[in-house]
Structure 1
Amino acid sequence: MDEIVMDGLRIDGCTVAFGGLRAIDNVTLDIPGGTITALIGPNGSGKSTFVNMVSGQIPPVAGRVVLKGQPITGLRPDRIVHRGLARTYQVPKVPKELTIQEVISVPLLYARSDRPLPSGVRSAADLAHYCGLRPAVTTRCGQLSVSDLRRLEIARALACRPEVLLLDESMAGLSLEDTDQVIGLVREIHVLGVTVVVIEHVMRIIARLCQHAIVLNQGRLLAEGAPQRVLTDPDVREAYLGKGFTL
C-alpha cells in the first residue's frame, strides 16, 4: 500500500455502487494538502458521488477515505466535519424560512472546533461580510439571489472551520463579475491554509485558479496532475473537452 498522505486527502481503492452501476470504480488518488485542486469530468462521471462519498453521505462499498492521515470511512457526516472537512452543494440546500444569520450561526455554535476563523471574523455577520453577502443578515434565504445563495453556502461551510473545503459547482450560474469575486474569495480561503477542491465545468476557472487537477470519467480516474498538462491530455480531450478545445 502506498504511503498515506499526511497533509491532504487520500482516496484509496474506493468504489461506490448503485445496484450494478459503479458510480465510483476502484479510484485511488491524492489531493495534496495546501492546494486548490480541480475535480472535473463529463456529466455522469462520478463527481457528485465522489463529493458525497468523501463527506460521508454515501459510504464506499470498498476502499477507504483518509483525511490528514486518519481514516474517515464510515463516519457520520457531522463527525467528518469535526475532523476538518466541509462541503457546499451543487444545488444550495438552505431552509428558505431561515435568515442568513441563522444559517451561518448553526455551524458557528456547533462545529466544536478550535481551528481558527478568518482574521477579524467573530460572528455570523462578520462571516457573511467576509464572503461578500450583500443583503442584511436578517434577510430570509427565500429572498436571496443565486449569487448570494452560493456565497451563503461557502459562508456556512467556512463556519465549520474546515481544513479541507469541497466546493461543488459554487460558481455555476454566476455572472462574469460574480465569478471573478468568488474566485478571489476562494483564493483568500486558500491563503488561510485551507485545502480547496473545486468541482467545476468552466475550464477558464480551472486554468486561472487551480494548481492540481483530477479528471473522472465513467467513475474512473482518467488523469491527474498540473491543470495545463491535464487539459491538453488527448484522453481528456476525447472524453470531455473535445478535440478542438483551447484555453
Structure 2
Amino acid sequence: MDILLAVEGVWKTFGGVVALSDVSFTVNKGEIVGLIGPNGAGKTTLFNVIVGFYTPERGKILFKGKNITGTKPHAICKKGIARTFQVPKPFGGLTVFENMMVGASFGTGKQITTELADRVKEILSWAGLDSKAAMPANTLNLVERKKLEVARALATCPEVILLDETICGLNPAEASEMVTFIERLRSSGITIIIIEHVMRVIMDLSDRIVVLHYGKKISEGTPLEVANDPQVIDAYLGV
C-alpha cells in the first residue's frame, strides 16, 4: 500500500499530564481511517499535532515520506493536509462564497483570481451549497455549516482531510446525508482520518480504526477486529 501519512512514536504532554503516549500508525492513500476513544483520549490533540498546532516532545509526523514535525500550520496546509473542527465557525459576516474564497486563497497561497473563484463555485456545487453562495454564513443550519466546513477544507486542495466529529449533533436524517457526503469526498480521491463518537457511522465508514485510551493506542485494525477486541470492549465500548 502507498503510505501517505505516518505517525511515529508521538508523545505530547501538558504540564506533566500525558496526552499522547508513544502513538504510532500509518494512513494509506485513499483510505478512511477512523480514530475513536472516550473523551480525553487524545484524539483532537493528535489532530493538532498532525497539523502543526502542537509540537510533540518526541516522535514525528511523516507526510509522503518527509518529516513535517513542527512545521507551521499554514505550511502544512499548503503541503496538502487540511482539517475541520468539532464546532464549525465560519466567518458569520461573510457570505458562503466569501468564506470559501478565504479558505481557497489561504490554503493554496494563490491570489484571488477568476480561476480560483471558478474552483470555489465548483466545490460549492459539489457540496450542494451553490444556492447558498450569496447568503451570510451565519444563516446556515447546522448540517449546512458542517458541509461548508468540509468544503472550505477541500478548497485548500488537500490530499488528506482530518474530520473532527462531523456527524456530532446531527439528527438521523442529517447524519445519513453527511455520511453520503463523506463517502463522496473519498470517491473524489481524498484520504480521510475521521474522529467520531457515533459508533455505527465510524464502523460503516472506516477501512481501519485506531483506538486511543488515555493517550495510548490500545487497538488498530478493521472495524470488525476492533469491535471484537477485548481491550476496546473493556476500555471504550463498555459492553
Superposed pair shares fold, TM > 0.5: yes
> Match for residue 210 of structure 2?
214
Instruction: Give the alignment partner of residue 85 of structure 1, picking from 81, 87, 96.
Output: 81
* Deviation (angstroms), 1:33: 2.1
1:67 aligns with 2:63: yes
Please tell me the residue identity of whatever aligns with 2:194: V
Please tell me the residue identity of whatever aligns with 1:24: L
> Match for residue 154 of structure 1?
150
In the alignment, the residues of structure 2 paired with residue 237 and residue 52 of structure 1 have an alpha-carbon distance, to the nearest angstrom, of 27
Between structures 1 and 2, the one with greater helix share: 2
Q: CA RMSD in A?
A: 1.8
Task: Please give the residue correspondences for 1:225-244 in structure 2 after superposition, counting only pairs within 5 Å.
Answer: 225-243=221-239
> Match for residue 117 of structure 1?
none
In the alignment, the residues of structure 2 paired with residue 61 and residue 95 of structure 1 have an alpha-carbon distance, to the nearest angstrom, of 34
**Does structure 2 retain, via aligned residues, the 8 Å contact 1:113–1:161?**
no
In the alignment, the residues of structure 2 paired with residue 48 and residue 27 of structure 1 have an alpha-carbon distance, to the nearest angstrom, of 13
1:44 aligns with 2:40: yes
In the alignment, the residues of structure 1 paired with residue 228 and residue 222 of structure 2 have an alpha-carbon distance, to the nearest angstrom, of 10
Select between 171-180 and 84-93 the one with higher mean Cα deviation.
Answer: 171-180
**Does structure 1 retain, via aligned residues, the 8 Å contact 2:100–2:120?**
yes
Please tell me the residue identity of whatever aligns with 1:12: E
The alignment's TM-score, normalised by the length of structure 1, stands at: 0.89
Corresponding residue SS for 1:91: coil
In the alignment, the residues of structure 1 paired with residue 130 and residue 40 of structure 2 have an alpha-carbon distance, to the nearest angstrom, of 34
**Does structure 2 retain, via aligned residues, the 8 Å contact 1:134–1:148?**
no
Corresponding residue SS for 1:44: coil
* Deviation (angstroms), 1:99: 1.2
In the alignment, the residues of structure 1 paired with residue 188 and residue 237 of structure 2 have an alpha-carbon distance, to the nearest angstrom, of 32
Task: Please give the residue correspondences for 1:162-241 in structure 2 after superposition, counting only pairs within 5 Å.
Answer: 162-241=158-237
Task: Please give the residue correspondences for 1:103-182 in structure 2 after superposition, counting only pairs within 5 Å.
Answer: 103-112=99-108, 122-133=118-129, 136-182=132-178
Please tell me the residue identity of whatever aligns with 1:18: F
Deviation sequence 1:172-196 (CA, Å, 0-9, x none) = 1112222112111211111222110
* Deviation (angstroms), 1:113: 7.5
* Deviation (angstroms), 1:236: 0.3
Please tell me the residue identity of whatever aligns with 1:109: S
In the alignment, the residues of structure 2 paired with residue 84 and residue 113 of structure 1 have an alpha-carbon distance, to the nearest angstrom, of 12
